[in-house]
A and B are shown apart, each in its own frame.
Chain A
Amino acid sequence: MTVHNLYLFDRDGVCLHYSEWHRKKQAGIPKEEEYKLMYGMLFSIRSFVSKMSPVDMKDGFLAFQTSRYKLHYYETPTGVKVVMNTDLGVGPIRDVLHHIYSGSYHPYPASYACMWSWW
Chain B
Amino acid sequence: MAIFSVYVVNKAGGLIYQLDNYAPRAEAEKTFSYPLDLLLKLHDERVLVAFGQRDGIRVGHAVLSINGVDVNGKYTADGKEVLEYLGNAANYPVSIRFGRPRLTSNEKLMLASMFHSLFAIGSQLSPELGSSGIEMLETDTFKLHCFQTLTGIKFVVLADPRQGGIDSLLRKIYEIYSDFALKNPFYSLEMPIRCELFDQNLKLALEVAEKAGTFGPGS
Q: What residues of chain A have their CB less than 8 Å away from a CB belonging to chain B?
A: 4-5, 20, 22-25, 27-28, 34, 37-38, 41, 44-45, 48-49, 51-69, 71, 85, 87
Q: In the bound complex, do residue B24 and residue A48 qualify as a contact, i.e. CB atoms below 8 Å apart?
A: no
Task: Tell me whether A49 and B133 are in contact in the complex, defined as CB-CB below 8 angstroms, given that A56-B100, A69-B127 are known contacts.
Answer: no
Interface majority SS on B: helix, strand, loop or mixed? loop
Residue from A28, A52, A63, A66 in contact with B142 in the complex, judged by beta carbons closer than 8 Å: A52
List of B residues within 8 angstroms of A44 by Cβ: 114, 117-118
Q: In the bound complex, do residue A48 and residue B111 qualify as a contact, i.e. CB atoms below 8 Å apart?
A: yes
Report how far A64 CA is from B58 CA in the complex, Å.
Answer: 27
List of B residues within 8 angstroms of A48 by Cβ: 111, 114-115, 118
Report how far A64 CA is from B69 CA in the complex, Å.
Answer: 41
Report how far A49 CA is from B114 CA in the complex, Å.
Answer: 11
List of A residues within 8 angstroms of B125 by Cβ: 27, 34, 37-38, 41
Q: What residues of chain B have their CB less than 8 Å away from a CB belonging to chain A?
A: 4, 23-26, 58, 60, 100, 103, 107, 111, 114-115, 117-118, 121-142, 144, 158
**What's the least CB distance linking B85 to chain A, in Å?**
26
Q: In the bound complex, do residue A57 and residue B139 qualify as a contact, i.e. CB atoms below 8 Å apart?
A: yes
Summed over the interface, the residue pairs from A and B with CB atoms below 8 Å come to a total of 117
Q: In the bound complex, do residue B141 and residue A54 qualify as a contact, i.e. CB atoms below 8 Å apart?
A: yes
List of B residues within 8 angstroms of A56 by Cβ: 26, 58, 60, 100, 141
**What's the least CB distance linking B189 to chain A, in Å?**
26
Q: In the bound complex, do residue B139 and residue A49 qualify as a contact, i.e. CB atoms below 8 Å apart?
A: yes
Report how far A58 CA is from B58 CA in the complex, Å.
Answer: 12
Residue from B24, B129, B138 in contact with A62 in the complex, judged by beta carbons closer than 8 Å: B138
List of B residues within 8 angstroms of A64 by Cβ: 122, 134, 136-138
Please name the residue on chain B nearest to A60 by beta carbon. B139
**What's the least CB distance linking B143 to chain A, in Å?**
10
**What's the least CB distance linking B176 to chain A, in Å?**
23
Residue from A25, A58, A71 in contact with B129 in the complex, judged by beta carbons closer than 8 Å: A25
List of B residues within 8 angstroms of A69 by Cβ: 126-128, 131
**What's the least CB distance linking B99 to chain A, in Å?**
10
List of B residues within 8 angstroms of A23 by Cβ: 127
In the A-B complex, the 6 residue pairs with the smallest Cβ-Cβ separation, listed nearest first, are: A4-B127, A68-B131, A68-B128, A67-B132, A59-B140, A64-B137
Report how far A51 CA is from B128 CA in the complex, Å.
Answer: 30
List of A residues within 8 angstroms of B58 by Cβ: 56
Instruction: Give 15 pairs: A residue, B residue, CB < 8 Å, sorted on A.
Output: A4-B128, A5-B127, A34-B125, A52-B144, A56-B26, A56-B60, A56-B100, A58-B141, A59-B139, A63-B137, A64-B136, A66-B133, A66-B135, A67-B131, A68-B129
